[in-house]
Structure 1
Amino acid sequence: MNPGFATVSAMQTAPTATATGPFTYADIADLATAAPIALHARIHSAAALKPAQAVGVAAGHSRFYVEADVVSLIRGAGPLAARVNYLVDLPLDARGKPVKLKKKQPVLLFARPVAGASAGSNSTSSIRLVAPDAQLPWDAATESQLRAILTELVKPGAPPAITGIANGFHVPGTLPGEGETQLFLDTSTGEPVSLTVLTAANGSRRWAAAFGEIVDGSAEVPARNTLAWYRLACGLPRQLPLNKLAGTAPEDRRKAASDYGVVLGALGDCARTRKPPVR
């Protein structure tokens, strides 16, 4: 055990940010991390497609062909026309009819480019949304949240997506009741991420996440509604796969699972109001 390892108490949950928009942090982060293009636009025209033209639309939804004028390109590389066109699936209204998309209605779009689409300043670019419904109503709070997430994403050493538990172990400490659990995580980039949970002789537990090779004394519980929190809260499996603790005694595996539960409890739920895009 490392007596100099300083962390925030595992039972101390980071303060929850006050909701400032209709979507959760995870809703926006799901789209921001999936979309190479994010833009603020205003509807120019929209036409609901007939059912025969809208194969695969989910029940209770209708598909629209939309043209929208770009207000600002929030994320994206390369030129983009002043107007874009795309398809979007939106829920039917209370009467079971396609919703009305008003001219100049502001929206946020999360998309990918379409190969070969024109990008001239006087033409229209075709884009493909990263999810059928990846058109959100625009408001200043949601755009601000999006920009904050994108800023974190491009920082050197930004936390990568968690794809699973690679391996881990639990070892008892020198005093009765002491122990340490270390878990090493699989990530989308191969960059190292680990969790360490320390249990004191009095039963209190502290934990920290390391995004990198070294855990230092400044490591803390990731604050809620940050990219590090999102990666852990939304990427960790809900149960510790005990088969990843090869060579660990059964009793120590149980302690590791208990420690893992403390981490999940401190992170809290990955709350969403919409389904994440399929990667």
Structure 2
Amino acid sequence: MTHTRSLNSLCAAVLGGLALACSIPASAQPAAPSGPGAGPTYADLADLADPADLVIRAEVRRQAQLKPERAPNVRPGYGRLYIEARTVSLIAGNAPIGESIRYLVDVPLDEDGDPPKLKRQEVVLFARTGGRPGEIQLIAPTAQLRWSESLEARLRPILAELAAPDAPPSVTGVRDILSMQGNLAGESETQMFLDTEGDGPVSITVVRRPNMAPVWGVSWTEIVDQAARPPSRDTLAWYRIACFLPQELPREANIAQDSASRYQAAEDFAFVRQSLGPCHRNRN
């Protein structure tokens, strides 16, 4: 009990200047996993890795649960921990970090209101540098995963794609979509242009030919390429589109003039959405 009180006091002293300041807005909190023991999906890992400046493998050395008055906006059933950990390795990031790090994390509590015992466990942290040496700030209140070889093996290709010079930009919506009828019955071509962060070019083309299955592809350059192909599932290109396109085509994005072309554009948008498949998340 004395040890816990002293560690809580240390948290109050050390974390007074931390960006989290022992308080995380409720709006920033991701939902709990969808089922007992549900592991992170590709989209979960990409959601965490994309905004993180640092991805750290660490071993927990000490933990202390903050009192409720020092941890506002924690979701029901969760508690906020102050953690002291040893850096095992820097999986990704350029900022220098020391052997010892400190941070805050929200964890689920058991039925007695107790947090899990994390001491000596290895974890993966998705973070930014904090305000003081040795302090880091998680990019979300629960941006800590239990480390395993399989988790790191799944994570590294995502980090490599994110760091690539030609990494696909973040898609934010549909700017325009236009369907044009061909000379033959059942022939059409639909082009949709997507909005992205930084205005990087992204376009999707759907081509229909009589008595043939429709084909589509995505181009990440200024050139609209009919030879483009759909992205493979569980890749960064797939994630950018499948996880951020709206479920329904925005009416204002459909710039076709006649009703038949507008209908075809909406049908082709739905076809692309179905082809991409669902973007499953366990963290939400």
Give the TM-score normalised by structure 1: 0.85
Query: Aligned residue for 1:180?
Result: 189
Q: Which residue of 1 aligns with 2:270?
A: 261
Letter in 1 for 2:50: T
Residues 179 and 256 of structure 2 are in contact (CA less than 8 Å); yes or no, is this contact kept in structure 1? no
Report the AA paired with residue 112 of structure 1: R
Contact 1:242/1:253 (8 A) holds in 2:
no
1:230 aligns with 2:239: yes
Aligned-pair CA distance for 1:201: 1.5
Q: Is the 8 A contact 1:172 1:180 kept in 2?
A: yes
What letter corresponds to residue 207 of structure 1 in structure 2? W
Alignment of 1:156 onto 2:156:
no
Deviation at 1:209, TM superposition (A): 0.6
Query: Counterparts of 1:108 and 1:218 in 2: how far apart (Å)?
Result: 40
Does residue 50 (structure 1) correspond to residue 67 (structure 2)? The answer is yes
1:143 partnered with 2:159:
no
| Preserved CA contact (<8 Å) 2:106 2:142 | yes
* CA-atom RMSD in angstroms: 1.4
Write out aligned runs for 1:163-202 (5 A). 163-202=172-211
Distance 2:241 2:101 in 1: 35
**Are 1:109 and 1:136, in contact at CA under 8 Å, matched by a contact in 2?**
yes
TM-aligned CA deviation for residue 200 of structure 1: 0.9
Residues 217 and 244 (structure 1 numbering): CA distance in 2 closer, same or farther, change over 3 Å? closer
Q: Which residue of structure 1 lines up, in the alignment, with residue 118 of structure 2?
A: 102
| Structure 2 portions without partners, runs of 5+ | 1-37
Q: Name whichever structure is richer in helix by fraction.
A: 2
Cα deviation code 1:126-172 (max 9, x no counterpart): 11110000011111111111111010111122111100111121000
1:113 to 101, 126, 129: 129
Which residue of 2 is the match for residue 29 of structure 1?
46
User: Which whole-Å CA distance do the structure 2 matches of 1:65 and 1:101 have between them?
Assistant: 12
Distance in 2 (alpha carbons) for counterparts of 1:136 and 1:227: 20
In structure 2, distance between residues paired with 1:170 and 1:218? 17
Work out the number of aligned pairs and report it.
Answer: 247
Report which stretch shifted further, 96-105 or 78-87.
96-105
Instruction: State the distance in 1 between where 2:238 and 2:163 align.
Output: 16
Aligned residue in 1 for 2:86: 69
Question: Normalising by the residue count of structure 2, what TM-score does the alignment of the two structures yield?
Answer: 0.84
The unaligned stretches of length 5 or more in structure 1 are 1-20, 119-124
Structure 1 CA distance for aligned equivalents of residues 40 and 186 of structure 2: 43
Partner letter of residue 61 of structure 2? Answer: H
Q: Does 1:128 align with 2:145?
A: no
Q: Distance in 1 between matches of 2:265 and 2:112?
A: 51
The equivalent position to 2:258 in structure 1, one of 218, 232, 249, is 249
Residues 251/216 of structure 1: CA separation in 2 closer, same or farther (3 Å cut) = closer
The equivalent residue for 2:17 is none
Counterpart contact for 2:177–2:256, Cα < 8 Å: no
The percent identity for this pair of structures is 44
* 1:61–1:98 CA contact under 8 A, matched in 2: no
SS in 2 for 1:141: helix
CA-CA distance at 1:218 after TM superposition: 5.2
Q: Distance in 2 between matches of 1:149 and 1:48?
A: 32
Q: CA deviation at 1:103?
A: 1.9
Matched, 1:83 2:100: yes
> 1-side partners of 2:103 and 2:191: how far apart?
47
Give, in whole Å, the separation in 1 of the partners of 2:204 and 2:114. Answer: 48
AA aligned to 1:214 is I
Residues in 1 aligned to 2:195 and 2:69: alpha-carbon distance in whole angstroms: 43
